[in-house]
Structure 1
Amino acid sequence: MSAILSADTLNDFIAPSVACIKPIETLPPDDPSTADPSSSLEHEVVLDGSLPQQRTPAQAAQISLTDCLACSGCVTSAEAILVSLQSHSEVLSTLDAAPALRLGSEAGVVSGLEDENAKIFVASVAPQTRASLAAACGPGTSEREAGDMLDRLLREELGKGGKWGNAFTWVVDTNAAREMCLVLGAEEALSPDSKKPVLASSCPGWVCYAEKTHPHVLPYLSKVKSPQALTGTLLKTALSRRLGVPPSRIWHVAVMPCFDKKLEASREELTDAAWAGGGKQSGSPVRDVDCVITSKEVLMLAESRGINFFDLSKKESGTGCHPSSQIPFPDPALQRYLFPSQLSPQQPREASTSGGYLHFILQTVASRNPGSVIQGARGRNSDVMEYTVTSSAGEPLFRAARFYGFRNIQNLVRKLKPPKPSRMPGGRPFGSARRPAAGKPATLEYSYVEVMACPGGCTNGGGQIKVDDPIIMERTGQETVPGPQEQKEWLALVDEAYFSGGEDDAALTVNGAANGAGGRAGAAADLVGGISPSYINDTLEYWRGLTGIEKDRLVLTSFREVISDVGKDKSQVERAAQLAGKIGGGW
C-alpha cells in the first residue's frame, strides 16, 4: 500500500463491505480424501497476477484488478487500496527492471528489442498537477515553471540514478488530448442523436458511482474518453505504429490530481482490447495507461532518488512545451501537435478548473448563433451553476449546468431517475423528481451537465498536495495543524497557479495562429475559446489514417452497470472475511 493512502484516510460515498465473492469463486475444490478440514482456508489471494512466494502447497486464488472493478461488493476504498499498487515505487522498479529501448538517429529505428523487459518510457502530466506543485513551490511560481521542473525530474534527474539510468523519453501535456476531448464533447453534446442531457464522464469517481449505484444514468454519460485515457491511446498507438514495437513495450505513466484516475487506468475498456479489434495479439490486454501517480507522489518519487524537487531549477530546460532539446517524436505531424512551439492560451476562470468542457460547449453554441449571449446563475451553492445561451431576441437556445461534489450529484441523478408506473388503474407515475409539474415538461431541461466528484473541481482532487501535508507545513513554518480555512486559502493558491498557465503565451499564440505559426490554435478565424475545431478534426483524421483504426474505437469508450452477488449467499460471507483477513485486507 502506498504510504500516503490507507483505509483510515479515505471517506468514500459508500460504506465498505467485507464480503468479496472473487476469492470464493476461484478457490480450488476441496478434496476430502486428502485435505485437512482445518487447511481449507490456506490459499493466498494474489493481486494482478503477481505471484508471491508460496507459503503453502495449496493453489493460489487468483484475483485480477478487473475482477475487483467489476464487483459492487467492494467500493472505492477497497479499489483505491488495490490500485495503490500503482505508485511511485512501481515507477522506479519499472525504470530499474532493464535497460530502456534505444532510439536511433534515424526515425523509427529501435534497438535493444532482444531484451524482452526493455521498454520505451513516456509520461503525461495534467495541468492541475502542475498547479499543485506550483503552489507547493511557493509564491511567484507559475504552473509553467512547475511543469518545467517536473519535466526535468522525469526526463533528466531520474536518469542520473537507478540501476540502468533510465528516464522518460517524452513528457506530454494532457492539454493536447483535452483539446481533442473538448471538440469531440461539443460535437456529441450538440448532436441531435445524443440522449439529453449529456453528462460529462471524465471524472472516474463519478463514473464509478454511477455504474454501481445509479445505472439509470449510464445512457446519458458522454462516451468521449477522458484526456488521460485519450493521451494513453494516442501514445500507445502512434508510437507502436511508427517504431514498429508492440504496445506492451511502451510504458506510460500519467501524473494526475486524483487517486481515482488509478481506477480509470485499470478499466478493461481502456486497453488495446478495445481498439485493436480482431488484430489483437493473444495475451493479457495492454493498458493505455500503465501507471498513475498523483501530485503528492511526485515529491515521493523525487525523494526516493535522493532529489529535492524544490531545488530543481525553474529555468526552461528545453523540455515539456519546448521540445528543441528532446528526442523528436517519431511522427512529425504529431510532434507539432503534442509539442507546439507556442502554447494555447489558458482557459478563463469561468471555464472552471476541471477541463472547461461546459465552457467550451457554451462558446460553441454562441459561435454558431451570432449575437447570442451566455448567461450564468448560481444554484443552491457555489458548486452548482446553471447557464443559458439566449438569442439576440432573448429566446433560450441552450441550457446547461455544472454539478460538483457528491451532495449535488445525488440531486442530479434523482432528477434523471425514470418514474415508476402506478399499480393503480389510472394512477400517475411516482418515485421520480422528473415527473411533470403544472405546465412543465417531464424531462430534465439541461442539454449538458459537467459533473465532477470533487467540490471545487479537479484542482481539489484527492491526490493533490494539501496544506496540512508535513512537507508543506515544514516549508511554510506551520507549527499547528492547519484547519479548513487554511485549506480553503491553499486551494485558492492552487487555482491561481492553474489559471497562470499560458498567460505569457496567450497573445503570441493567437497572433501566431493568424500568421500560420506553430501552435495548436490553427486559423484564427476558426477559433472557439482559443481552439481550432478544424485543426483538431484534421489531427484526429490523420491519427486514424496512421493507425488504420476507426476513429470511434480510438476516441470513445463505454460504461456498464456493475452487478454482484456479494452477500446474497450468507453462508459464504464468513469464509470470504477469513480469506480477506489472511492478506491483511479484511474490513
Structure 2
Amino acid sequence: MSAILSADDLNDFINPGIACIKPVETLPKQQPDLNANPYEVTTEDKVNAATAPPAQISLTDCLACSGCVTSAEAVLVSLQSHSEVLDTLDRCTELRLPPVQNITTNGADDISEDTGMDEKIFVASVSPQTRASLAATYNVSEREAGHMISQLLSGPYGLRSGGKQGSGFQWVVDTNVMREVALVAAAEEAQLALDTPKGELKKPVLTSACPGWICYAEKTHPHILPHLSKLKSPQALTGTLIKSVLARKFGVPPEKVWHMAVMPCFDKKLEASRGELTSHTWHGQDGEAVRDVDCVITARELLMLAESRNVSFPCLPRTPVSKTFAPPFPESTINRFLFGRQRGQKRKREGTDIDAGTSGGYLYHILKTQQTQRPGSSIHVHRGRNADVSEYSVTSAEGELIFKAARYYGFRNIQNLVRRLKPAKASRMPGAARKPAGARKPATSAAGANAEEGEYAYVEVMACPGGCTNGGGQIKVGDIATFRQVGGTGIENGSVDQEMLPAQREWLARVDEAYWSAEIDDLDTAGEDGLVDIDDDSLGSRCEAGDDADVVDGIDRRRVKRLMEHWSNITDIELDKLVRTTYRAIVSDVGKSKGEGNEMEKVSALAVAAGGGW
C-alpha cells in the first residue's frame, strides 16, 4: 500500500473491480418493487436513480482479489486499525494468569474460569522496522523507541491510563527473537533444497515473509508457488508460539488470547487474515478457526492509537516497563527465550549494513551459514543494474562456486525474476522438443553475473524498494511535522523547525541507520523473573567457543533449534505444523462461463503504481 487509509475513506457502496474474484451474484441484490406497474415502461434514469445497497466484502474476499486494490485497502484498514484495538480494549477485561508457582505443567490446566465477562490475554509483537521509524521521528535510539512502545502498550502511563476497562497488553514481544527462528529454519530449508534438487521445494527458494509478494505470486504467477519458502514469517511465528503454548500447556482457549502486531507494512494485515495461519493448523479442526494474529497496525496507526487516548508518545518513559505491568511468561524456557539473555551473550550483527539489508537478513544469514560450514570460503557480491538487485556467491578457497543467491526488491525487479523462472512453452512445430525451463533467459543475468556460474539456490524477494523500512505503514517525511506537533516537540514560535523535514531519500537513510544501529544488550535475567528453571542453560544460551560451536552472525543456532524442539514437545504438536505454512493459486472466474477454462489474463501490474507494496 502506498498510503494510510481510514474508515473515513470508505464509500457507502464499493463497486467491484473489473477483475474482482468475488462472484457478483453473492453481492447484495436490489429487490424488485412489488407495487410497481408491470406494464409501465422503465426508463434508464429511474434505474440509475435507485440506490444500491452497500457491498459486503470481507477481508478474506480481499485476499482472493485480483484487481480491486483501492476498495480492498479501504475495507482492510477498517477491519484492522487502531480503532479496532481501542474497541477491543474497551470491550474486554484483562485475563490475568495466576502466579507462576500456582500453575502446574502436567497437561492443560483450566485457569480461565468463566466470569461472565469477555476476558482476553492481550499480547503485542513489535517489528524492528517500526521501532526504527519511531526512533528517527523523535530523535531517540532504537532501544529507547522500543521502551516507549512498551510503555504505551503495557505501562501505567499508556493505554492502561484510559479506556472503559483500563486494559493493556500483558506481553510485548520483539519479533527479532522469532526472526532468529525463521533465519535458522530458512538456512536449513535452503540446504535441503540443495541436497534434494528434485524434492518438494524447487530451486531457487524464494522468501515468503513479504505478504505483498506472496499475494502477487498467488494471483498472477502460480508457477512460482513451488519455489516459495514454506516457513512462516516472524509475525506469524510469534502468534503461533504464544497461542499454542498457552492453549496446549495451560488450557487457555485460543480465542481468549488477542494478539496485535505492529508492522511496517499494510500487507501484513492480509497475511494475518490468511486461512492457513489459524488455530486449525495446530489446535485441531474443532470449533471456529482463531487467527494467530488478530490485528495488525502500523507505526503511523500506533501513534494514532496514542493520540486517541490522549497520550503524548514522545513524553512516555524511555525505560523498560516495570514487571508489575509486564509479568513473565508462565513457561520459563519460553520466557527466557523471548525476554531475556544471560550475561555473556550479546547479539551483534557481524556484516555491513548493506549486506544484511533491512528486511530481516534472510539472505545474509543463509550466506553466512554456507560460509561457516565451509572453512576457507568467501562471499562475493555483484551489484545489479539498480540498488535493489544484487547477486551473491559463496566460493571455496580454490575458487569453486558453492552457493549462488540474489536479492530482488521492488515489483519492477520482481517481474524480471518471475520471467526468468517461467517455464518455456512447448514448441508447436512437429518433432520439436520442449525447451528446458529458463531457456529464454539472457546470457547475462539482471545482476550482471555470467549465466555459466550456475542457477540461484536462494532469492530474497521483497515488494518494497529499499526493503521493509520503506513499508507503506512507516512514518513518511511529510508526516513528521504533524506527529511532532501532536507530541509537543519540535515546535518553536508555533511552527515546526524546517531543519526537521529532510528529503524523502535522506529520511529513509535515517530510518535505515536506526534499524542497523539496533542491538540486544546483555541482560542478566537469572533469578529476576521468579521462575524456576529446570536447567539454566537448557537452550544452550551461552555461546561457547569450540569445535562444536554453531554461531552464525551472532545467532546460536543450537539454542534456536533446542527452543524449536522444546516448543514442539510441550505442546505435543509436530514442528512442521508450528513453523510451516502453505500457499495456493488464486484464479478469477469473473467474466467466464462455467464451462470455460482458467486461461483468463491475470492482473499483473498490482503494485507497480506505488513502486512497491500494494
Same fold by TM (over 0.5)?
yes
1:102 matched residue in structure 2: 96
Equivalent AA in structure 1 for residue 399 of structure 2: G
Q: Say if 2:541 is the partner of 1:531.
A: no
Q: What SS does the corresponding residue of 1:162 show, helix, strand or coil?
A: coil
2:146 matched residue in structure 1: 147
1:296 matched residue in structure 2: 300
1:122 matched residue in structure 2: 123
Aligned mate of 2:76, from 71, 75, 83:
83
1:460 matched residue in structure 2: 470
Question: Pairwise mapping of residues 311-350 of structure 1 onto structure 2 (< 5 A)?
Answer: 311-318=315-322, 326-341=326-341, 344-346=347-349, 348=351, 349=353, 350=355
Q: Say if 2:166 is the partner of 1:165.
A: yes
Q: Say if 2:397 is the partner of 1:392.
A: yes
TM-score (norm 2): 0.79
1:224 matched residue in structure 2: 231
1:233-254 CA-to-partner distances (Å, cap 9, x unmatched) read 1111012223312100100000
Q: Say if 2:273 is the partner of 1:266.
A: yes
Q: Say if 2:517 is the partner of 1:493.
A: no
Change (3 A) 1:434 1:452: farther
Question: Pairwise mapping of residues 39-438 of structure 1 onto structure 2 (< 5 A)?
Answer: 43-46=53-56, 63-75=57-69, 77-84=70-77, 85-105=79-99, 106-108=101-103, 110=111, 113-115=114-116, 117-138=118-139, 141-156=140-155, 157-191=158-192, 192-193=195-196, 194-277=201-284, 280-283=285-288, 285-318=289-322, 326-341=326-341, 344-346=347-349, 348=351, 349=353, 350-427=355-432, 434-435=439-440
1:233-279 CA-to-partner distances (Å, cap 9, x unmatched) read 111101222331210010000000111100100111111122223xx
For 1:221 and 1:3, the matched residues in 2 are separated by: 28
For 1:547 and 1:250, the matched residues in 2 are separated by: 16
Change (3 A) 1:152 1:507: closer
1:503-522 CA-to-partner distances (Å, cap 9, x unmatched) read 755999xxxxxx96999565
The answer to whether the 8 A contact 2:357-2:467 is kept is yes
C-alpha RMSD of the superposition:
3.5
Q: What SS does the corresponding residue of 1:268 show, helix, strand or coil?
A: coil
Q: Say if 2:585 is the partner of 1:561.
A: yes
1:432-462 CA-to-partner distances (Å, cap 9, x unmatched) read 7543778997997110000001111111111
For 1:229 and 1:494, the matched residues in 2 are separated by: 24
Q: What SS does the corresponding residue of 1:468 show, helix, strand or coil?
A: helix
The answer to whether the 8 A contact 2:3-2:473 is kept is no
The answer to whether the 8 A contact 1:521-1:531 is kept is no
For 1:132 and 1:393, the matched residues in 2 are separated by: 44
1:502 matched residue in structure 2: 519
1:315-334 CA-to-partner distances (Å, cap 9, x unmatched) read 3345xxxx697312111110
1:117-145 CA-to-partner distances (Å, cap 9, x unmatched) read 2111000000110111100111xx21111
In the alignment of these two chains, the number of paired residues is 532
For 1:145 and 1:541, the matched residues in 2 are separated by: 33
Superposition deviation, residue 9 in structure 1: 10
Equivalent AA in structure 1 for residue 579 of structure 2: V
TM-score (norm 1): 0.82
Superposition deviation, residue 24 in structure 1: 2.9
* Deviation larger for 498-507 or 222-231: 498-507
Change (3 A) 1:388 1:107: farther
In structure 1, runs of 5+ residues without a counterpart are 11-15, 47-62, 509-514, 571-587
Change (3 A) 1:393 1:498: same
1:84-138 CA-to-partner distances (Å, cap 9, x unmatched) read 0201111111001032212222444745632352111000000110111100111
For 1:490 and 1:517, the matched residues in 2 are separated by: 43
For 2:377 and 2:523, the matched residues in 1 are separated by: 25
Change (3 A) 1:411 1:314: same
The answer to whether the 8 A contact 1:415-1:433 is kept is yes
The answer to whether the 8 A contact 2:145-2:318 is kept is yes
Q: What SS does the corresponding residue of 2:408 show, helix, strand or coil?
A: strand
For 1:71 and 1:336, the matched residues in 2 are separated by: 41
The answer to whether the 8 A contact 1:211-1:561 is kept is yes
Q: Say if 2:534 is the partner of 1:541.
A: no
Change (3 A) 1:23 1:116: farther
For 1:98 and 1:87, the matched residues in 2 are separated by: 17
Q: What SS does the corresponding residue of 2:379 show, helix, strand or coil?
A: strand
The answer to whether the 8 A contact 1:344-1:520 is kept is no
The answer to whether the 8 A contact 2:20-2:66 is kept is no
Q: What SS does the corresponding residue of 2:230 show, helix, strand or coil?
A: coil
The answer to whether the 8 A contact 1:112-1:118 is kept is no
Superposition deviation, residue 298 in structure 1: 1.1
For 1:507 and 1:30, the matched residues in 2 are separated by: 66
2:612 matched residue in structure 1: none
Superposition deviation, residue 532 in structure 1: 1.6
2:458 matched residue in structure 1: 448
* Deviation larger for 97-106 or 379-388: 97-106
For 2:20 and 2:276, the matched residues in 1 are separated by: 23
Q: What SS does the corresponding residue of 1:414 show, helix, strand or coil?
A: helix
Change (3 A) 1:235 1:19: same
For 1:542 and 1:94, the matched residues in 2 are separated by: 32
The answer to whether the 8 A contact 2:59-2:270 is kept is no
For 1:453 and 1:7, the matched residues in 2 are separated by: 25
Q: What SS does the corresponding residue of 1:119 show, helix, strand or coil?
A: strand
The answer to whether the 8 A contact 2:27-2:55 is kept is no
Equivalent AA in structure 2 for residue 447 of structure 1: A
Change (3 A) 1:521 1:488: farther
Change (3 A) 1:460 1:34: same
Change (3 A) 1:298 1:437: closer
Superposition deviation, residue 501 in structure 1: 1.1
For 1:491 and 1:187, the matched residues in 2 are separated by: 32
For 1:502 and 1:482, the matched residues in 2 are separated by: 26
For 1:198 and 1:361, the matched residues in 2 are separated by: 11
The answer to whether the 8 A contact 1:466-1:472 is kept is no
In structure 2, runs of 5+ residues without a counterpart are 11-15, 39-46, 104-109, 445-449, 526-535, 595-614
Q: Say if 2:482 is the partner of 1:471.
A: yes
The answer to whether the 8 A contact 1:434-1:442 is kept is no
Q: What SS does the corresponding residue of 1:385 show, helix, strand or coil?
A: strand
Q: What SS does the corresponding residue of 2:506 show, helix, strand or coil?
A: helix
Equivalent AA in structure 2 for residue 100 of structure 1: E
